[in-house]
Amino acid sequence: DVTDAYHFYIEDGDDSFLRQAIMPMERAADYLPKIIVKDSAVDAICHGADLACGGIAELADNIQKNDIVAIFTLKGELVGAGRSLLTSNEILESDSGFAVNVSKVLMKPDTYPRFWK
């Protein structure tokens, strides 16, 4: 399908078939509970840090301990995925500590500015 869509694009200039065949990577995480992080936390996560409660801007209300969660930026870009260490309510009540053990980072480091030392 992708090969056919590519040939339609090359021969006819029609990219609609390519857009149907190739989806953004954010679509792969549609089924996971989402945690949206502040811009200041993105680069630290990209360099291998776990997600701290202070770096969270928004989160889904159905997160349980040990759930696999998707980590997104404020602009909706997929940063990575990890296992939740706390429930949604515990994250909201906590001011410090780690909320997610990040296991997979999909965004390249230095895409966002470094706010950590």
Read off the pLDDT of residues 85-101 as tens digits, 9 standing for 90 and up.
999 999 999 988 999 99
Cα–Cα distances (Å) from 86 to 20, 47, 82, in that order, read 37, 22, 12
Read off the pLDDT of residues 25-42 as tens digits, 9 standing for 90 and up.
999 999 999 999 999 999
Range of the domain at 99: 24-105
CATH code of 79's domain? 2.30.130.10
Is the residue at 6 inside a domain?
no
Is the residue at 94 inside a domain?
yes
116, pLDDT greater than 80 = no
Report how far residue 112's alpha carbon sits from residue 100's, in angstroms, rounded to the nearest whole number: 20
Question: How many separate domains does the chain show?
Answer: 1
